[in-house]
Amino acid sequence: MVKKKLKVRLAHQQCHIKLIRFSLKKPKETWDFKCTIKFSISKLPISRMQRDLTDSTTLRNQGTAIAHSYLSLKNIIKGLNRIEVIISQLNNELNDNQEVLAEAIQVILRKSGRQNAYETLKKLSRGKKINSKELTIFINSLNINRDDKKTLLSINPKSYIGLSSKLVDIQ
């Protein structure tokens, strides 16, 4: 009688991380590329101004630098194509981290004239996992006007972006 071995795939085995290579294959190639570029940047302006004849050899090595740049870009594109974004997992991660909203609460508290806004939120969130119920209880306990409370209760980690849209040019 032949016994068959059953293969059991555990949940944690499905989520192992594969490293994605974003650089050249060999460290020596990267080193050569960096050295050639740095040397060219420092050498060419000086040799042009002093009519130095060594700039022709420097110019000859720029092809190598450009080739290494091309290879690096190819590897970056290859690496980016291998990345898989799992939106549901990102959403779960965001929703599990309600402390992201601490900044929004702090801004509202400061707007309301609270001097110790930072310390208040530090006590609430430092080193702790906060769930949405705890955050709702905390917001309701704040001594702020109704509109600000309503605003804080309506935001969630996924929708809150703060001033990032004003700080970054999005076109």
Q: How many other CB atoms sit within 10 Å of the CB of residue 152?
A: 22
The end-to-end CA distance of the chain, in Å, is 69
- Whole-structure pTM value: 0.52
- Helix (H) or strand (E) run with residue 125 in it: helix 117-125
**How far, in Å, CA of 71 to CA of 63, rounded?**
12
Kindly state the tokens that stand for 150: 């309503």
- 8/115: higher pLDDT: 115
User: What mean pLDDT, rounded, does the chain reach?
Assistant: 76
Q: How many other CB atoms sit within 10 Å of the CB of residue 98?
A: 20
91-167 has CATH 1.10.40.30 classification: yes
pLDDT tens digits, one per residue of 83-94: 888 889 888 888
Residue ranges covered by each domain of the chain: 27-82, 91-167
- Please report which confidence band the pLDDT of residue 63 belongs to, taking 50, 70 and 90 as the band edges: confident
**How far, in Å, CA of 76 to CA of 83, rounded?**
11
pLDDT tens digits, one per residue of 10-53: 444 444 445 556 555 666 666 666 777 777 777 766 655 565 55
**How far, in Å, CA of 148 to CA of 154, rounded?**
10
**How far, in Å, CA of 85 to CA of 90, rounded?**
8
Q: Is 148 exposed, middle or buried (0-12, 13-18, 19+ CB in 10 A)?
A: middle
- Please report which confidence band the pLDDT of residue 123 belongs to, taking 50, 70 and 90 as the band edges: confident
CA-based nearest residue to 31, from 78, 73, 65, 54: 65
